[in-house]
Amino acid sequence: MVAEKKKEKERLFHLVKRNDIEPWKKWIIRIASVIIAALLAGGIFAVVAKDSAAFGGFFKEMWKGSFGTQRLAYVFTSDWAILMCISLAVTPAFKMRFWNIGAEGQTLAGALGAAIILYYLGGKIVEPVVILFMFAAALFMGMLWAVIPAIFKAIWGTNETLFTLMMNYVAIQLTNFFVNLWTRGTQTTMGNLGNGTIHGILGIPYIQNAVIVAIVTIIIFIYLRYFKHGYELEVVGESQNTAKYIGINVKKVIIRTMLLSGVICGLAGFLLVGGSPTPTINAELVAGRGFTAILVSWLSKFGPLAMIFVTAFVVFLQTGAKQGSNTYHIGASSAYSDIIVGLFFLIIIASEFFLNYRIKFRKKEGK
């Protein structure tokens, strides 16, 4: 029959699953994918900038955007710290397969908590106390935003994806409410709220966020790898029934893990306000980093150490692409930098395919 005949015919190539890839091969494939993405990005840049010299200029601008001057390098560490902190926050939850897509709202809630304290107490009591209150309020708000969906999930089995997403909107509207209240309905953003922030350590500006987040990174690394908690949440992620069978209180683990997740998001929120030279609050303060963090966490395979580099790479791409489009006066610059970041991720994720599968071509003599 015709169908059978077709089946007999060998395809041009077929895919074989591979489990035995050597580490050096893995890295060659990954590095190659980054190089391919960079070449493509440079090519697109030259086309958009209508200047063939821009192809080389692209790589120069990428570097200049993040490390061109001392200030840009400092700002880079600060941007790195915020994204890193949120990525760390979502990691325990994702390892537990609790799909927390509410990091955006949890961070914003934390930032709002800090801003509320700063608005009402800033300049009225001594600064260290203000900062301490801001810190406590931010962590509390971040925790609250994470624990509410966790409790609903643990007790009533509600869908955490939708719940955490909706909590984002609640945080946004609550922020709008306060800004509206404080500006008597005349603005959507607050201006610079003035003092009440940690800025710089030992005279080095902008560095405080990176230092604090570096400490948190070590803590999370140890927590996930060497603590019973870290093991328990992994088991709950693998199979809730197994977890129950070996005597893990699943509800407790879910709530506890989300509590941790929320507290770290709250910390990121605190740093956004209390770690800024010009603290402020508005609904766009987190600027999508709560969602980018999920990607970062996933690409790092939930490893805090790999995350350090992945986060740095993402921030590098974002600021670099922005710098390039500014220097070459590309009109739709945000669209351009989104394309570049998207391109890199697409190719890097696609390269994972080659790590898992081998392509076998049909042999010529078999014809």
Partner 1 sequence: MKLKKVLAIVLIIAVLAVAAISLVACVDDENKKGENPAYPDIFKDSSDEVVNTPVAMSDIKVGFIFLHDENSTYDKNFIDAANAATAALGLTQDQVLFRTNIPESEACYNAAAELAEAGCDVIFADSFGHETFLLQAAKEYPDVQFCHATGTHAYDENVANFHNAFASIYEGRYLAGIAAGMKLKEMYGDANGAVSAANAKIGYVGAFPYAEVISGYTSFYLGVKSIVSNVTMEVIYTNSWYDETAEREGANKLIANGAKLISQHADSMGAPSACEQAGIPNVSYNGSTQASCPTTYIISSKINWEPYFEYMIRRVSEGKAIRVDWCGTIETNSVQLTEIGAAAAEGTAEAINTAKAELLNGTRKVFDITKFTCNGAQITEETMADVHGSDFKPDSYPVSDGEYKESFYRSAPYFDLIIDGITVIGNVGGQA
Q: Which helix (H) or strand (E) holds 319?
A: helix 304-327
Q: Which of residues 236-255 bind partner 1 (CB under 8 A)?
A: 252, 255
Report the chain's C-alpha Rg in angstroms.
24
Indicate whether 71 belongs to the interface with partner 1 (CB under 8 A).
yes
Q: Of 187, 195, 242, 356, which one interacts with partner 1 (CB under 8 A)?
A: 187
For partner 1, the binding residue among 63, 169, 226, 245 (CB under 8 A) is 169
- E strand intervals along the chain: 13-17, 357-361
Q: Near partner 1 by CB under 8 A, which window of 89-97, 116-124, 151-159, 300-308? A: 116-124
Considering beta carbons, is residue 228 or 301 the nearer one to partner 1? 228
Q: Could you tell me how many residues of this chain bind partner 1 (CB under 8 A)?
A: 50
Query: Helix, strand, coil: what percent of the chain each, to 5?
Result: 75, 5, 25
**The binder of partner 1 chosen from 185, 203, 247, 366 (CB under 8 A):** 185
Report the C-alpha gap between 69 and 171 in whole angstroms.
36
Among 13, 120, 226, 227, binds partner 1 (CB under 8 A): 120
Q: Cβ closer to partner 1: 277 or 359?
A: 277
Q: Does 143 bind partner 1 (CB under 8 A)?
A: yes
Measured CA to CA, the distance from residue 191 to residue 281 in angstroms comes to 8
Contact status: 183 vs partner 1 (CB under 8 A): yes
- Tell me which residues in 330-349 interact with partner 1 (CB under 8 A): 331-335
∠ CA(139), CA(215), CA(69), 5° rounding? 100
Instruction: Please list every residue from 252 through 271 that binds partner 1, using CB under 8 A.
Output: 252, 255-256, 259
- Piece in contact with partner 1 (CB under 8 A), picked from 102-110, 225-233, 284-292, 348-356: 284-292
Instruction: Give the span between the Cα atoms of 214 and 233, in whole angstroms.
Output: 23
Question: At closest approach, how far in Å is the CB of 9 from partner 1?
Answer: 51
At 362, list the tokens.
């049909």
Q: Is 367 exposed, middle or buried (0-12, 13-18, 19+ CB in 10 A)?
A: exposed
- Which stretch, 36-44, 185-193, 220-228, 306-314, contacts partner 1 (CB under 8 A)? 185-193
d(C-alpha 112, C-alpha 110), whole Å: 5
Nearby residues of 110 by Cβ (< 8 Å), 6 or more positions away: 138, 139, 141, 142, 145, 265, 266, 267, 268, 269, 270, 272
Q: Which residues of this protein are in contact with partner 1, per CB under 8 A?
A: 69, 71-72, 75, 116-117, 120-121, 124, 133, 136-137, 140, 143, 169, 172-173, 176, 183-189, 191-192, 252, 255-256, 259, 276-280, 282-285, 287, 322, 325-326, 329, 331-335
